[in-house]
Chains A and B, each alone.
Chain A
Amino acid sequence: MHSVVLTKGVPDFREGQVSFDEDGHLERGATPTVMNPNDEFALEAALQTKVKQGGQVSVMSMGPPGYESVLEEAMSVYADDLYLLSDREMAAADTWSTAITLSGGVEKIAERDGQSGEPDLVFAGFKTADGETGQTGPQTSWCLDRPIVTHVISLTVDDEEETLRAKRLVEGDANEIETVEAPLPAFVVTDPDFEPSYRRAEHRLRHKRLKAETEERVEEYDEHLTTWSAEDLDLDPDFIGLDGSPTIVSGVDPIPKAPSEREATTVAPDDEEEMEQLIDEMRPLAGGE
């Protein structure tokens, strides 16, 4: 079983990490790049198939050379091989030209000598923390001409039957869970509610072994890293990067800035009078009388 996980580097939006300039624009240089948090679920899902079915996990990302750190992070979640699709030509891509590039990468893996042929499963996480479109996964699956299952919260693979069975979350008036089956090779988009399940000791033991093996591999992650340019992938420059992006950004709304100074009053918790006053002041805000 060979799985490819698509992952993206995104600004680290955690408090204290992210920097904005005076106009509220993100300062990329001053904000560290991390793996898109939702992609961790895709990695977990790929790891689960590796634990249960055996095989390997490749992680692929499109981005500047700095994205290596994101792939290094992916390595620590038990990846075997890392692929970085990196080229000036690929820069400023929208979701569509990203999908074309990534599908070129997946096809290249399939062609490579010594590989097990076409990857059985391609995983992507649900939307990225920066763009939030949720389109790259589905568009890549379209380029690859694979069946796609989205919002997957649990997954089992039957390698004999060459099918996957997945539970997916269908959000509507009420949350529903739907079970679907798809033939392999397939494309899976994981939901943030994805939970791997290991109910057999054998699987937990293999998980533990893989973890130990990976700890050694993380040290030398660059030995497992392959970087491909647009030329390596044989991609038409008109269809990738900014030139290949049909999306036009019509405007950007700045993030409203918090007032630089706020008034604060300290209230001693055992000062009954002050507490009473505070409660009176808060009551209207809480929607009380």
Chain B
Amino acid sequence: MTDEHEHYEAVVVGAGPGGAAAAAVLARNGVETLVLERGVEAGSKNVTGGLVYAEESAPYTVDALFPDFREEATERPVTDYYLHNVAGEQVETFDITDLHEHDTEWSDAVLRREMDSWMADRVHELASETGGGLLTDVRVNGLLRDGGEIVGVTCDELDPIWADLVIAADGVNSELARDAGLMDWDDPDEWFQGVKAVVDVPSEIIAERFGVGDDEGEAHLFSGDLFEGVRGGGFVYTNEDSLSIGSVFHLDSIVEQEAEPHQLLDNLLTHPLLADWLEGHYDEVEYSAKLVPDSKKAANPSPHEGRLLAVGDAAGQMQAQGPIIKGMNHAVSAGALAGEAFAEAKLRGKPEQAGDLYERKLREEGVMGKLRPKGYRVASALGEREPVANATDSLLTSPVGRLGVRLLGDRLEDLYSSPYLSQIVPDTQTPYVTLPTVIAEELGERVAGEADFEPKDLATRIGDLTYDTDVGNPHIELLDDSVAASGAAVTACPVSAKDFGGGCYREETVKTNGSEQKRVSLDTQPCVECGTCAVVADTDWEHPRGGKGVEFEQG
């Protein structure tokens, strides 16, 4: 009786968009579905920029799976989309709304705590009808195996659970995908790091400063010289009565430049354009960070192993399409396709074929093609080689290049708006830093604003976050504390900094037998669980137990 093990037809790990979509489709197909989420509430561990896209060509959209989604779970639709090329106070703004609207049915700004917990309620209702449901506060810590075969999951808080299908929708730091060998965290150049601040601004002020009505919203992107040469960009999205302000950078570039992520965010926050928007209204309510996979390099073309199917960030399916970031919509598509694949395979009496069927659907529905565009492979093979990249940069900054930029003038805006080009831009300094800077210098206008505030310092940002500390259960172990192996974490960790004593990582000078050595030390207390150090340092890294650790109120 009590020692008999528990079994569900499907166990979905993670209640982000990928897990929610998978569970909704499974439950609607009558599959007994259990969803396990480690946060105190769905969304409490999650961070996004974030704009949710519904693509015209996508097999599934979030509002099709969850009716009333837009009315009840999102902030504002994005009706205008701008790219600001910045060189100091010189700014040249391109209207790239056309690019944004390409293949887009709609796109809304969201905050994850609200969005995910709203979806979780629906998922719980649907799954309850199958004899399952959604549980929070449960962290899945590994795959249950029987004779080498995956047969279910193991958890911190529950006894092992057997399942015919396990969906790894556990996000960018997927412990399950790692466990199954579907993903590794070795290469910083396969990841972006996102850092974000949510700033409360009354809706009247948003309406006034951005010139938008109740059902309108804007997206502003920033590139150029305001990020100390780190490859990536900044964003400002309008929510109902707050702004999401953040940055997304290539992780390898952050490491190389020894950049401090929170300072890069501050550079954006204090830029003259933001000074105008925020004047008298800088009320930062949450600081957060997370990694995102670069699908061009990390999307696994075959994201399954036995009964385990990985979806969303756990399968590396986060697409950076030029300045447009699409992860949530792909997580939804993939999650739903995985659910569909299992339901079909089960109907045919061959549930073990779900993985192959899922892989085929990803390909045939065009999801894989977007995640790993063919054109990028060709362009990057050429453009990302260092001599070529350097040559491009020096050409652009030369008088000839500058003349070219001036001659192109308005046509540059069209080029930037090309959906094809945006998919294949190489990941070099050129598109993020050099070209925008030259554009701003040659074509831009001076912006005069000056910030009437100091951005919150790191200690306050950390102090304002909610943590349920898990004393005695450190979820990160530093395996090699030498600066060579783990030093990058001191600067790259978004809650640590070189000259800051209070973050997770610190560099220390240790005196032993008359000699001095630099060592890295770790304190997991203020960790926002972004996963950066799992990639850049030598650690044994896992998530904290269910409900423990940081709890985002906004996300």
Chain A interface (Cβ within 8 Å of chain B)? 156, 160, 199-202, 204-205, 208-209
Within B150-209, the residues touching A (CB, 8 Å) are: 157-159, 161
> Does A205 lie within 8 Å of B1, measured CB to CB?
no
> Does B132 lie within 8 Å of A200, measured CB to CB?
no
16 extra A-B contacts, CB within 8 A, seeds A156-B2, A160-B1: A199-B159, A200-B6, A200-B158, A201-B6, A201-B34, A201-B36, A201-B135, A202-B6, A204-B135, A204-B158, A205-B34, A205-B132, A205-B133, A208-B135, A209-B128, A209-B133
> How many residues of B sit at the interface, in one of the four size bands?
10 to 19
> B401 CB to closest chain A CB, in angstroms?
56
> Does A201 lie within 8 Å of B128, measured CB to CB?
no
Cβ-closest chain B residue relative to A202: B6
| A284 vs B132: C-alpha distance when bound (angstroms) | 63
Give which listed residue, B2, B128, B157, B159, contacts A205 with CB less than 8 A.
B128
Contact flags (1/0) for B386-408 with A, using CB distance below 8 Å? 00000000000000000000000
Q: Which residues of B contact A200 (CB under 8 A)?
A: 6, 158-159
Q: Which residues of B contact A205 (CB under 8 A)?
A: 34, 128, 132-133, 135
Tell yes or no: B106 within 8 A of A by CB.
no
Q: List 26 A-B contacts (CB under 8 A).
A: A156-B2, A199-B157, A199-B158, A199-B159, A200-B6, A200-B158, A200-B159, A201-B8, A201-B34, A201-B36, A201-B138, A201-B158, A201-B161, A202-B6, A204-B135, A204-B138, A204-B158, A205-B34, A205-B128, A205-B132, A205-B135, A208-B124, A208-B133, A208-B135, A209-B128, A209-B133
| A129 vs B162: C-alpha distance when bound (angstroms) | 45
CB contacts between A and B, total, < 8 Å: 30
Q: Is the interface of A mostly helix, strand, loop or mixed?
A: helix
Q: Which residues of A contact B161 (CB under 8 A)?
A: 201
Q: Which residues of B contact A199 (CB under 8 A)?
A: 157-159
Q: Which residues of B contact A202 (CB under 8 A)?
A: 6
Contact flags (1/0) for B32-49 with A, using CB distance below 8 Å? 001010000000000000
> B545 CB to closest chain A CB, in angstroms?
14
| A104 vs B138: C-alpha distance when bound (angstroms) | 43
Q: Which residues of B contact A201 (CB under 8 A)?
A: 6, 8, 34, 36, 135, 138, 158, 161
Q: Which residues of A contact B34 (CB under 8 A)?
A: 201, 205
> B37 CB to closest chain A CB, in angstroms?
12
| A209 vs B127: C-alpha distance when bound (angstroms) | 12
Q: Which residues of A contact B8 (CB under 8 A)?
A: 201
| A200 vs B36: C-alpha distance when bound (angstroms) | 12
| A202 vs B138: C-alpha distance when bound (angstroms) | 13
Cβ-closest chain B residue relative to A199: B159
> A49 CB to closest chain B CB, in angstroms?
13
Q: Which residues of A contact B36 (CB under 8 A)?
A: 201
Cβ-closest chain B residue relative to A52: B2
| A204 vs B124: C-alpha distance when bound (angstroms) | 13
| A130 vs B161: C-alpha distance when bound (angstroms) | 45
Q: Which residues of B contact A204 (CB under 8 A)?
A: 135, 138, 158
